[in-house]
Structure 1
Amino acid sequence: MELATESGMDLQTLVTLTTGATLLACVLAVAGVHAYGRGRAQRAALIDRLSATPQLPPGGRRRRFRALDRRLRRTRLGRRLELRLAATGLDVTPGEFTAALLVAVAGLWLVGQAALAPFFGPIAGLLGVWAAVQFLTWQRQKRIERFINQLPELARILANATHAGLALRTAIGMAAEELEAPAGEELAQVAHQLALGASMDDALGELADRLPSRELVVLVTTLVLSHRAGGQVVSALRNLTETLEERKETRREIRTQLSQVNMTSYAVPVLGIGSLFLMNGVKDGALDRMTGSPLGQAAVVVAFALYAVGFVLIRRLSRIDV
């Protein structure tokens, strides 16, 4: 009898412990799900705030396609596009650029299909993507050229500030206030990174990565070595200022001499595309009949490939590194 009573008590204790452990596990599971949901909400809010803060100034325009922009920023391609847009200085988010690109590609697809032949629809869409990539490259190169033209003045301001006894961090902040865009904007970002605790090497290294050029690499190397070793930064910057002035004039002369060659590189594919419209205008439906066979389609693809090769070769041959 006593053994049965003890067994019943042990069983009741086991049931009680199991019930308590189950209730505790349920409470912890509910708390975990609640914490996870709150963390996701805070993360989404932080992403929205960080996405809007550097790109939406007070009184600026309202951003569109924010959901698409958030999804793009989570992908590798979206992050690369964000860096590329930041290097161009355009006030456009990755989501807005992608949406505009999709609309442009769809429009060119329909125009090529209606104006020429159905076969030219995908080709027109691909040309739209290529044109968008070339536009970003042109904007980035344009910003780099403007920044390079400001480097002599930047080196002069840094030399005068350090000669007056100011620290290099303070000199960079002063240059950011005095110089116009794009040098002022880029240096303001460097000063902001330094204020947040980033090292001089990392902040200037990111600047060189955003706007790659030999002149900027030389300036960054000079500043980093002088800051690290404590050398004569004033004399080094003044000597660098004279060198940058000479390189600026040399680059201007070379760009003037090669302007006709650069225009020829763009004229070659334009003439090829114009010949298609001319052919279709002379005899209506000629392109549709030509692309109706696999041989004609292959000929069109080979022709476009040759135009692309000619464009690349002309650009390569006219590139002179100074």
Structure 2
Amino acid sequence: MGAVMTWAAGNMLTIAGISGAIAFIIILLLLLRPDIRQVPLSRRRPFENESRTAVTVAAERLTSVIDKVAARRGHSLAERLDIAGVKTPLAHVVILTFSAMIVMVALSLLMGSPMFAVLSVPAIPALLTVWISLRISKRRANFALQLDETAQMLAGSLRSGYSFPQAMLTVGKEASSPTSDEFIRMSNELRVGRPLSDAMEHTARRMESEDFAWIGQAVAINREVGGNLADVLDNVAHTIRQRAQLRRQVASLSAEGKLSAIVLVALPFVMIAMLSLINPTYMGTLFTHPVGWVMIATGAGLLIAGTFWLRKTVEIKF
């Protein structure tokens, strides 16, 4: 019986190693592909048949299922990647995520840590979600910081004799990212017949920018009642500038509380790492004994609750 268990364990480790190697090779191939950021052939040449392998079909079906599940939560995964400014195709992101999960599970099994193998399955998608959310937050913050300059650039273009669509195209060419990306998107939407107010409202929702919604409302009102839109945009830019100054003051006042929250959240992980280096045998029991697994699960739950509580404590709305 012992020989059978040893043989099964050896085969499991072999399978885990082979699976991890294959997944790692897939990750390298996708990351090192020169055309990973190019427009797909189906969009460049719609009437030309593109060769599709069984792996491609399976990846497309899996991507479609994941995108539909994510869409039920308000935004599809493809839309969130677009808002985050990620140019990698959705199918590649899904394949990379599942390949990373396989690699982590294989490495955990090879190191004799089945607990880490179980935890890595939900951990990789969770890390991907956090990474996308951080990129979205950073992109929206940069868009808000650039709004003052954007309104001034629109007003200057209008005084130069440009129409508002031409002024938007000028901002798309001369502004920094992400403002340039969003204005180019709006210009392309106007070319295909989308109303200006709808395009600006959609961008305000994408960027979650109340200030840009004001610009859209000012433009919509001006198109109905007339007047000097350049002067209106100057007044809106002044208001946006004052709100940005107040936002920076609030951020400086709450910086100490945020830093304290970061230190408290990172402290358990730092202590685990230090104790693992100082006394690996002492910490190894925590990951190999069932009581240790219960303690890890309890600690993780308390850490998540504490992180949520600290985040709400240092979050200031105005």
Instruction: Show the counterpart of 2:162.
Output: 166
CA contact 1:261–1:318 (8 Å) conserved in 2: yes
Aligned-pair CA distance for 1:240:
0.8
Instruction: Show the counterpart of 1:21.
Output: none
CA change 1:269–1:101 in 2 (3 A) is farther
Distance 1:116 1:265 in 2: 34
Instruction: Show the counterpart of 2:203.
Output: 207
Please list the CA deviations of residues 268-297 of structure 1 after superposition, one character each: whole Å capped at 9, or x if unmatched.
44332343444555252754466533x543
Among the aligned pairs, what percent are the same residue? 17
Distance 1:152 1:264 in 2: 32
Aligned partner of 1:123 among 119, 125, 136: 119
Q: Counterpart of 1:144 in structure 2: which amino acid?
A: R
Distance 1:224 1:116 in 2: 64
Task: Tell me which moved more, 165-174 or 225-234.
Answer: 225-234
Instruction: Show the counterpart of 1:226.
Output: 222
Q: Counterpart of 1:148 in structure 2: which amino acid?
A: A
Distance 1:232 1:306 in 2: 57
Distance 2:164 2:276 in 1: 64
Aligned-pair CA distance for 1:139:
0.7
Aligned-pair CA distance for 1:231:
4.8
CA change 1:172–1:300 in 2 (3 A) is same
Larger Rg: 1
CA change 1:271–1:109 in 2 (3 A) is farther
Distance 2:176 2:287 in 1: 55
Count of residues in Structure 1 that have an aligned counterpart in Structure 2: 264
Instruction: Show the counterpart of 2:303.
Output: 307
- How does 1:185-196 map onto structure 2 within 5 Å? 185-196=181-192
Aligned-pair CA distance for 1:88:
0.9
Distance 1:108 1:147 in 2: 36
CA contact 1:208–1:217 (8 Å) conserved in 2: yes
Distance 1:135 1:262 in 2: 19
CA contact 2:115–2:287 (8 Å) conserved in 1: no
CA contact 2:219–2:229 (8 Å) conserved in 1: yes
Instruction: Show the counterpart of 1:292.
Output: 289
Distance 1:49 1:170 in 2: 31
Aligned-pair CA distance for 1:238:
0.8
CA contact 1:108–1:121 (8 Å) conserved in 2: yes
Q: Counterpart of 1:245 in structure 2: which amino acid?
A: R
Instruction: Show the counterpart of 1:153.
Output: 149
Aligned-pair CA distance for 1:151:
0.7
CA contact 1:117–1:287 (8 Å) conserved in 2: no
Aligned partner of 1:140 among 128, 136, 141: 136
CA contact 2:97–2:125 (8 Å) conserved in 1: yes
Aligned-pair CA distance for 1:236:
2.0
| TM-score under structure 2 length normalisation | 0.71
Distance 1:96 1:264 in 2: 38
Aligned-pair CA distance for 1:176:
1.4
Instruction: Show the counterpart of 1:102.
Output: 98
Residue 284 of structure 1 aligns to a residue whose secondary structure is helix
CA contact 1:265–1:315 (8 Å) conserved in 2: yes
CA contact 1:176–1:184 (8 Å) conserved in 2: yes
The CA RMSD measured in Å over matched residues stands at: 3.1
Instruction: Show the counterpart of 1:184.
Output: 180
Aligned-pair CA distance for 1:204:
1.1
Q: Counterpart of 2:208 in structure 1: which amino acid?
A: P
CA contact 1:201–1:224 (8 Å) conserved in 2: yes
Q: Which runs of 5+ in 1 are unaligned?
A: 1-45, 54-64
Distance 1:241 1:140 in 2: 24
Q: Which runs of 5+ in 2 are unaligned?
A: 1-38, 46-54
CA contact 2:222–2:229 (8 Å) conserved in 1: yes
| TM-score under structure 1 length normalisation | 0.70
CA change 1:320–1:228 in 2 (3 A) is farther
Instruction: Show the counterpart of 1:49.
Output: 42
Residue 166 of structure 1 aligns to a residue whose secondary structure is coil
Instruction: Show the counterpart of 1:76.
Output: 68
CA change 1:204–1:114 in 2 (3 A) is same
CA change 1:158–1:280 in 2 (3 A) is closer
